[in-house]
Structure 1
Amino acid sequence: MGTYASNALAFSQYTYDTPGNGLTAYVHGPSPTSGTFYSTTTAFPIMVGGKSMPASYPDGLSNTIFFVEKYAICSPDGNANDGGTQWADRYETQTAPFIGVQAYSSAATLSYGSNQVGVQGPVYGAAGKFQVQPYPYLGTGTNACIPGIAGTSHIGGIQVALGDGSVRSVNASVSATTWWLAIVPDDGGVLGSDW
């Protein structure tokens, strides 16, 4: 079940929907129904950045998550083809091996599942905090797996790789705000004491 995901914000171009508010920063992905799956500038958010070290990371490399745990198979519609790993799925932004990517739709909510209105929702900011032992990983429920965010099978917390090359465990009790500020490399915010 376990695999790893890249933090698209650490490598890609992105914008803040509300300037100065790190909780509204995410990579704006394409609509999965727009025929842009194979566009190198929209369907591969991890590859279109032009960032440089350390200038692109003013919050500090030791305060920016680059890679994180993520469930390999994870789908609210029960489709085992959804989810995403670094090895199997590079095209659909809503289920690909990234975090920090919100696929576009007219309602700006398409982020996981297969165009099902009842299971769509944002996967960034306060809604982007990782899941601990999501279940079921295929199907719906109160703790069902959301493929657009990180997820871990470890009950105590999640493993992350930071920009300085270090690896650490982030406690499951970390706040959603602190978590997302560690995802955004240049929000200027100070990580909470729970970091």
Structure 2
Amino acid sequence: MKRFVIMTAGKTHSGKTTFANKLEEQLENAVVVDQDRHAEFINTYYKKLLAKQGPNTIKYAVTKTIVGHAVEETDCHLIISNSNRSKSGRKDLLDYFHRNGFNSILVNFDLPDSVLEERISVGSRSKIIFRSATTFEEVLARQNTDSDQDDVMPPVEGEADYLFVIRDEVDVEGVIQEIAGIAHSLGVGDV
């Protein structure tokens, strides 16, 4: 059976998790892997294990373990709902999935900052996922600063087998239907 990995890329509050959850409902035998869930779990039960500075290695280890298990022990399609803004990070992850026989889809969330700022101001997302930030405004500001780094860039054609760009909330349902159509045409299962 052909398997898919669908990876999201985008800033905070761009709709990655909502999209992933809706897609999971539409794509048979798919599971969402969301690092925010992992961060919430760690921050709730294992906060003392978090590094004070630098990368959140425990969160990455949890995610890597879950992904490895899904790849090696199941026949599930994976929906990776993370920011995935680093080109080298996406490449490494996509290379791993391609080596394991997956077809790949990247979904880039390219919404204007004004929309993200509005969503943050009215949102009620839990802040328990934070390790070093204190607000989602701070997260967005960091992501905008990170955008100046050479490796942080939006996905481009050729990085994955398919690329979709969501520029507005109205694009979400159409992209989900296109992905479902691709899956169906490749015999991935009913959607």
- Report the structure number with the largest CA radius of gyration: 2
Query: Which structure's residues are more often strand, by fraction?
Result: 1
TM-score (norm 1): 0.31
Answer 1 or 2: higher relative contact order, Cα 8 Å, separation at least 6: 2
Query: Which structure's residues are more often helix, by fraction?
Result: 2
TM-score (norm 2): 0.31
